Amino acid sequence: MPAIKLSATYAVFALAASLAAQSNLLVEGLEAYNKGDYVTAERSFRKAVAQGGGDARAASLLALVQASTGRCADAEPLLAKAAGSNAGNDAALGRLAALALARCRLAAGRLDEAAGILDRLRAKDPADADVLYETARLQMRAWNETIRQLYEKAPSSFRVNQLSAEILETQGQYAEAAEEYRKAIAKNPRALNLHFQLARALLNSSHAAETLDRALQEIEAELAMNPSDAVATYQAARILQVRQHPAEADARYEQALKLRPDFVEALCALGTLRNEERRSAEAIPLLEKAVQLAPASEAGHYALMIAYRNSGRMDDARREKARLDELHKTPEGEFSDFLKKLGEKPPAGK
């Protein structure tokens, strides 16, 4: 079981400072624990417990070592008690105990209990990286367990084909995904979203004319069941625009915006289409609304810059150009450096 290491900035210094005057054994144990020397840490904490002195933290710290090295059965009673600490330096120990207890619950498959502990920790500090990491692990475990149950208990369900298709899509196997969606549709032709998902897989597999036509057919089938689907309406407009049917695309974009007035992608697409049709005066209010809703949208700012330029509003066009330049600036920081190493473009506006 992976160890929950103490954070030097959050826990070690705070605990060590409070314990230094009381017990060198506890300080030595904390230092060893933070270095990953669990044998030395456990020895120090056991000696501190044996010496007594009334400091219950020695036993709690010993329980942390036990949990970190996979001995949850021994550790859980003390961890549960320490996890309730929420004042002063005991709060730092309480946080670590709660994290260890959540990991023990997760290891035992007691997912609901682990979720409850992590929810309480997130309520105290929504930006706690350790808590967010453990929550992600919990959610992945829950996802995998639920998938296992689905395949085991309902293997002939259309949901199995749908889920298989979604997994294949994430792996870039679009042709295989499309086939699974077709199987799902054959089992339940009236299920919402299946035709749209099939269309998406087809579009990801190819932009050939015949593939675009098949994808449009699937989207129309989706809209026949759910005419209020703004995303499907928007996607139909995109295909029609690519297939050189601007008037039909324009009407579909308009319909998508009636269904969802704050649909940024539809606002940008319709504004861009109006630019191409030399209807910049009509494009401007659409694009102004788009960038108001999504200030970091490069597509929106670019299209708005073109609309302003075509309308002779050069000062406004220059302002949009300046905003685009700002969005293109490479953000600084550890995450950006990580993306550079991967060869990926950092997210705009961050």
CB atoms within 10 A of CB 133: 12
Task: For residue 101, give both structure tokens.
Answer: 């207890």
**Contact call for residues 66 and 78 (beta carbons, < 8 A):** no
CB atoms within 10 A of CB 204: 16
Local structure of 312: helix, strand or coil: coil
Distance of CA 249 to the CA centre of its chain: 32
pTM higher than 0.85: no
**Contact call for residues 215 and 202 (beta carbons, < 8 A):** yes
**Contact call for residues 60 and 90 (beta carbons, < 8 A):** no
Give, in degrees to the nearest 5, the angle at Cα 112 between 107 and 113.
70
What is the residue-level pLDDT of the chain in tens, covering all 350 positions?
Answer: 444 444 433 344 344 444 444 467 888 888 888 788 888 888 888 888 888 755 677 888 888 888 888 888 888 888 888 777 654 456 777 888 888 899 998 888 888 999 999 999 899 889 989 899 999 999 999 888 889 999 999 999 999 999 999 999 999 999 999 999 999 999 999 999 999 999 999 999 999 999 999 999 999 999 999 999 999 999 999 999 999 999 999 999 999 999 999 999 999 999 999 999 999 999 999 999 999 999 999 999 999 999 999 999 999 999 999 999 988 875 555 545 555 455 444 444 43
Task: For residue 7, give both structure tokens.
Answer: 């954070």
Positions of E strands within 106-243: none
| DSSP letter, residue 219 | H
Q: Which residue has the tokens 């129309």?
A: 220
Q: How far apart are CA 196 and CA 294, in angstroms?
A: 25
* Structural domains present in the chain: 8-150 (1.25.40.10), 263-350 (1.25.40.10)
Q: Which residue has the tokens 């995450």?
A: 335
Local structure of 279: helix, strand or coil: coil
Label residue 237 exposed, middle or buried (CB < 10 Å: 0-12, 13-18, 19+).
Answer: buried
